[in-house]
Amino acid sequence: MRITLTLRWRSRILIGKALPRTARRHWNRGNDRLMSGAGRNRQRGGQKPSGSQEKHGRRDRGGPGAGTKGGSPKRYEKNGSGVGRRNERAGRSDQDKRGELRDRGNGRATPIRGSGSSKGAAESRGGKGVSGVNSYPLLPMGRIKGEWMDIRLPDDLAGAPMSAIGKHLPLQPKLVTRLAQNRGCLVQGSNLRLHLFPRETRDYPSDWMELNILYEDEFTLVVNKPAGIEVHPSEKGQRKTLAHAVAAYYEMTGKDLRVRHVHRIDKDTTGPVLYAKNEFAHYQYDKGMREKSIGRVYLALVEGNVEGDKGRIDKPIGQDRHHSTRRRVSETGDPAVTHYEVVERFADHTLVRLHLETGRTHQIRVHMAAINHPLAGDGLYGGKRGIIARQALHGERLIWHHPWTGEKQSAVAPLPDDFLQALNKLRIQ
């Protein structure tokens, strides 16, 4: 006896278990037809079988032509990285698609292959070969003509949109967007013009004083700060700071620039101070300060005999509650790390060279006082002023990287006269 029910196949299986043996055999044959052929293929994501396979209601998985149309198997090849890749009927490979950008102007696809190896063209200019903001090969720095930089684009980038060219520049995306909005980024065939050196309104009045310029180029100015003046005003209306002197230097040399200091040193500390001459350089140097790629090396004359030839001071620094300008070691303060090494020993003083991992206010002065070796002349932190009238602290060397090429650069500041005189006195004793 054969029973036919118009139910879904899951329901047929459940009901069929309760039927007699003979009826169950016919019931199962109906289930097999329902699960075979196109129904089973669609459930498993396959293709509709052809020929005898469909006729008998089954799908053979093995052998040539299994699961394919027309009996020919689909082939898989190995690409260079060992990953299987389907050989499609037509069209471009994924690698070709990634290597092309649509030129909106003429409708042609321009391949973007970069400009050589990952070291970039900067290496040929003596740089480190740093990459752009998005780790693409970096374009070499172009010629500077007035307020503009002219860059010759390689053939791969000629005619490409600015969104593609910007990936090969060390400019931050916000700056590229701002330049594009203000017509400060012009692409003319294979020529790129960037308005990186605009004339700016000076933000400090000029106070004329003699400056010791240690280094200067189109992006950077390094000034050797003397003792007794501050890097910038600490109160409203204050004048005669280093910022006012730099403003006067810009005016005297015909540069309409803002004064952008990258770091500070104390009023009575001497040594190099780094200035950025445009917005792009300021961004790069601020980033270098955050990533600790800008190095500062100091010389200090401390009281007492420092134990050992080198050491590391890791003590957090916070503000002194009882003194507004004083700092102290505090468990709730900001992390601060100072490395020191002995340069020369005297009877009751030691000349040390110091490297900073962090840049806390008064960090060297607080750390050396914390290990019972205050700086000579530093009355605020317990030093005596018998041999020098100010804290004996001098910035010996400043290390930074070129904003565009990444080339390592440095400036060395000679010891000031009062520091040299103090050392000579100690050597005679």
> Would you say 358 and 336 are in contact if contact means Cβ atoms under 8 Å apart?
yes
Which residues are catalytically annotated?
266
- Spell out the alpha helix ranges (H) of 241-357: 242-252, 279-290
What residues are paired with 395 via a beta bridge? 298
Which position has the token pair 């180029």? Answer: 217
What residues are paired with 334 via a beta bridge? 317
Residue 229 burial by Cβ neighbours in a 10 Å radius (0-12, 13-18, 19+): middle
CA dist., res. 224 & res. 274, Å (int): 9
Closest CA to 243 of 189, 202, 288: 202
Question: How many of the other CB atoms lie within 10 Å of CB of 327?
Answer: 23
> Would you say 223 and 260 are in contact if contact means Cβ atoms under 8 Å apart?
no
Closest CA to 35 of 24, 27, 43: 43
Structure tokens at 424: 């000579």
> Would you say 180 and 228 are in contact if contact means Cβ atoms under 8 Å apart?
no
Amino acid found at 361: T
